[in-house]
Amino acid sequence: MTVSHTLPASTADLLAHTGHIGLVQGISAGHFTDARRPTGCSVVLCPQGAVGGVDVRGAAPGTRETDLLHPSNLVQQVHGIVLAGGSAWGLDAAGGAVRWLEEQGAGLDIGVGRIPLVPAAVLFDVMMGDMRIRPDAAAGYAACQAAGKLRPAEGSVGAGAGAVVGKLFGHGRAMKGGIGTASFTVDGVTVGALVACNALGDVYNPYTGELLAGARQADGKALLDARQALLAGQEPRPVLAGSNTTIGVVATDARITKAQAHRLAVVAHDGLARAINPVHTMSDGDSLFALGTGQSGKQLGMMTLSTLAAEAVAVATARAILLARPMPVAGQPILPCASDLRQPGL
């Protein structure tokens, strides 16, 4: 069995990871970032069609067209996935992706034309600047125009532009979130992930357990470790339901069925659980999509595919945080990013 990547371990290894979702055959990815405030959207496109699945674990999701992905339902393939900021308003970005895909001749053939099928999920970033600015159909279209096979930008861009993590003890003690990507290849089959992390909880290195970013001490100068604080009996601040969420896409070029795509989406959440704590809370809308293009022409056992999916999601989540950068917002304190609080040598 040939493996193209070794597992990262240290923070430096996570930053040096070379895999990305664009290495999956039949997949392209792109972003639109709104310069007027930190928000945006990201797309994962498969114009030739891919079997799809989804698993929604968070209790406060914002999604579009997830029911069609159920293994027992009629539609077998979709043509793209949209991840967006802007909370419920951000779902409008999917309309722009549908229009762009139609112009490329992609979609379900209905005789008189084609209908591109584009499920979507959104995260809550409207506390960052003017909430009246949010991704719309034009933003989704622009993200499609920018999509390609090269490594997509990471950090504070696209759906991760306005993402914030570590809000258990208040937004003022939180840190900057973002979007990241990773992939692993075994025997000519690649599994890649694109994850936008706007979690309520803290984010960790999934291999070493190092706390990367999250709730800060009251003075804002050091990380608190929300897990330890909760175990010690500290009361979290009241959290607005749905004001957090980690969303993402896992894609493979293996030949898989729709039922297997669903299972990949399910096990991919293991990657979130390795990198985020707490995760899947009542205030998060955590949702992961899975795509299978089949373009490698190969099959790989579900045990291996599932392992690759969870690893890709875990690394992508950590990279989303490590590559995030502070985003100035008029009238608001600048939230630090992971590199601002990282100890020298780590």
Whole-structure pTM value: 0.95
* Domain enclosing residue 202, as ranges: 11-341
Q: CB neighbours (10 Å) of residue 232?
A: 8
Inside any domain, residue 1: no
Average pLDDT over residues 23-29: 98
pLDDT of residue 332: 85
Residue 336 lies in a domain: yes
Give residue 1's pLDDT.
47
Residue 150, domain member (yes or no): yes
Does residue 5 sit within a domain? no
Any domain includes 6: no
Which of the residue ranges 60-74, 191-205, 221-235, 329-343 would you say has the lowest mean pLDDT? 329-343
Q: Provide CB contacts within 8 A for 210, sequence distance 6+.
A: 11, 204, 346
Distance (Å, rounded) from C-alpha 128 to C-alpha 146? 24
Would the pLDDT of 3 be above 70? no
pLDDT tens digits, 135-145: 999 999 999 99
How many structural domains comprise the chain? 1
Is residue 90 one of the residues assigned to a domain? yes
Instruction: State the SS3 of 134-200.
Output: CCCHHHHHHHHHHCECCCCCCECCHHHCCCEECCCCCHHHCEECEEEEEEEEECCEEEEEEEEEECC
pLDDT in tens, 151-184: 999 999 999 999 999 999 998 899 999 999 999 9
- The band of 242, judged by pLDDT with boundaries at 50, 70 and 90, is low
One DSSP character per residue, 66-83 reads -GGGSTTSS--EEEEEEE
C-alpha closest to that of 309 among 19, 65, 62: 19
Assess if residue 23 is contained within a domain: yes
In a domain, 4, yes or no: no
Q: What's 330's domain CATH number?
A: 3.60.70.12
Q: Give first-to-last CA distance, the chain, whole Å.
A: 33
* pLDDT for position 243: 78
Rounded-to-integer distance, Cα 215 and Cα 134, Å:
26
